[in-house]
Amino acid sequence: MARYGMALDYKNCINCKACESACKEENGILLGADKHRIWVGVKEVEGEFPLLSIASSGFVPSQCQHCDDAPCQEVCPTNATYYDENGVVRVNVEQCILCTYCMNACPYDARYVDDRTMTVDKCNFCSDTRLSRGEVTTACQNTCPTKVRTFGDLDDPDSEISILLRARDHYTLKSHLGTKPKLYYLT
């Protein structure tokens, strides 16, 4: 049993979108479902020429935050959304009734309707694919050319992610909502 999380050294992101492609390939995501399961946010350059703020520009990759206190799980009427033994927030497609309450409840816009199953889907840290095959990385992490992502067990003090989070300052998105996300942005 682990408690999986991900650290993102987002300032290294070059917006090549290899993570999005790898995620689609690995998890069989349909074409057209762009920025649904995983995406790269683009911070536009602020200011007017010639007073442009180069510091304002940047890329912020994001996806499901795998909250420890996930609003999407709380609101699910059939418990189709659940925490697996590794603390990953997942969806049981057999139980999902497509009421889309979770889509409204998720503060991170991380859920979408999967047209293959007509149920609500989301990132599951490749639990159905790579992790179930015994691999220890997610597709997005494995493919990233600038090593933005570090995936691992937050409960293991010797894991790479735990060492990284001890060494580097980090923040989580919308932490004021009390959702306790497990995606950490390294500063």
Partner 1 sequence: MSMKEFVTSIPVNKVGLKDLLGFEKSPANIFLAFLTISLLGMFATGVAIYLMDGHHAYNVTREHPWGLLLAAYIFFVVSSTGLCIIGSLGDVFGFKDYELISKRAIFGSIVTIVSGFAVIIFEIGHPITMVVYNVLTPGLTSAIWWMGTLYGLYLTFMIIEFVFLLKGNMKLARYFGLPGLAIGLAAHSNLGAVFGFLNARPISNGVYFPMYFILTAFITGVFIAFIFMGFRYKLKFPQSVKTMLTSLGKIQLFLLLFLAFFMTWKFLTDIYGGVPDRADVAIHILSSWTFWAEVILVIALPLFVLLKDIGRSHVAIFYTSLSGMIGIAFMRYNLIHDTQLKPLQMLKTSEYQLAPTWIHYVPSMTEWMISLGGIGLCMALYYLGTKLFNLDADTYHPA
Where do contacts with partner 1 occur on this chain (CB under 8 A)? Answer: 35-36, 39-43, 56, 60, 62, 71, 74-80, 94-101, 103-109, 111-113, 118-119, 173-174, 177-178
At its nearest, how many Å lie between partner 1 and the CB of residue 103?
Answer: 4
Closer to partner 1 at the Cβ: 109 or 135? 109
CA distances, 7 to each of 64, 119, 146 (Å)? 13, 28, 13
Residue 121: other Cβ atoms inside 10 A: 22
At its nearest, how many Å lie between partner 1 and the CB of residue 133?
Answer: 28
At its nearest, how many Å lie between partner 1 and the CB of residue 89?
Answer: 14
**Cβ–Cβ under 8 Å, residues 110 and 89:** no
**Cβ–Cβ under 8 Å, residues 86 and 120:** no
**Cβ–Cβ under 8 Å, residues 163 and 174:** no
Closer to partner 1 at the Cβ: 110 or 144? 110
At its nearest, how many Å lie between partner 1 and the CB of residue 102?
Answer: 9
Alpha helix stretches (DSSP H) within 38-157: 71-75, 101-105, 139-143
Closer to partner 1 at the Cβ: 84 or 155? 84
Rounded-to-10 torsion of CA 177, 108, 84, 153: -80
At its nearest, how many Å lie between partner 1 and the CB of residue 92?
Answer: 9
Closer to partner 1 at the Cβ: 55 or 157? 55
Closer to partner 1 at the Cβ: 68 or 101? 101
